[in-house]
Amino acid sequence: MEKTVHVRFSHPLYDTFFDAEFPTTVRFGDLTEMLIRAGFLQEKKGGYHYIVDDRLCPRTAILEDYLPDPAPEVLSIRIHGLLTILT
């Protein structure tokens, strides 16, 4: 059976939260599409970034890489929704 983790996302613009169970092997880049389908996020240019314990998570990383030991009952993830401009 695949390991899962209970995740609580905080919306980047509104004071709202979304709770769900995700496999620990899901990539941060795939979370955006899942949260859009769930109606929590809207599609936008620049996409979204995820922050766990004040660490910006690469889109290619998996949730398991950011789970502290021991794993919390609920993993809090802040969503960063500002456009990223590289100069």
Ordered mean pLDDT values, 10 residues apiece, the chain (87 residues)? 91 89 94 94 87 92 90 91 57
Question: Cβ–Cβ contacts within 10 Å for residue 39, how many?
Answer: 8
Domains, the chain: 4-80 (3.10.20.90)
pLDDT at 82: 65
Helix (H, G, I), strand (E, B) or coil at 72: coil
pLDDT at 72: 87
Phi, psi at 57, each rounded to 5° = -95, 125
Please state the pTM of the whole predicted model: 0.84
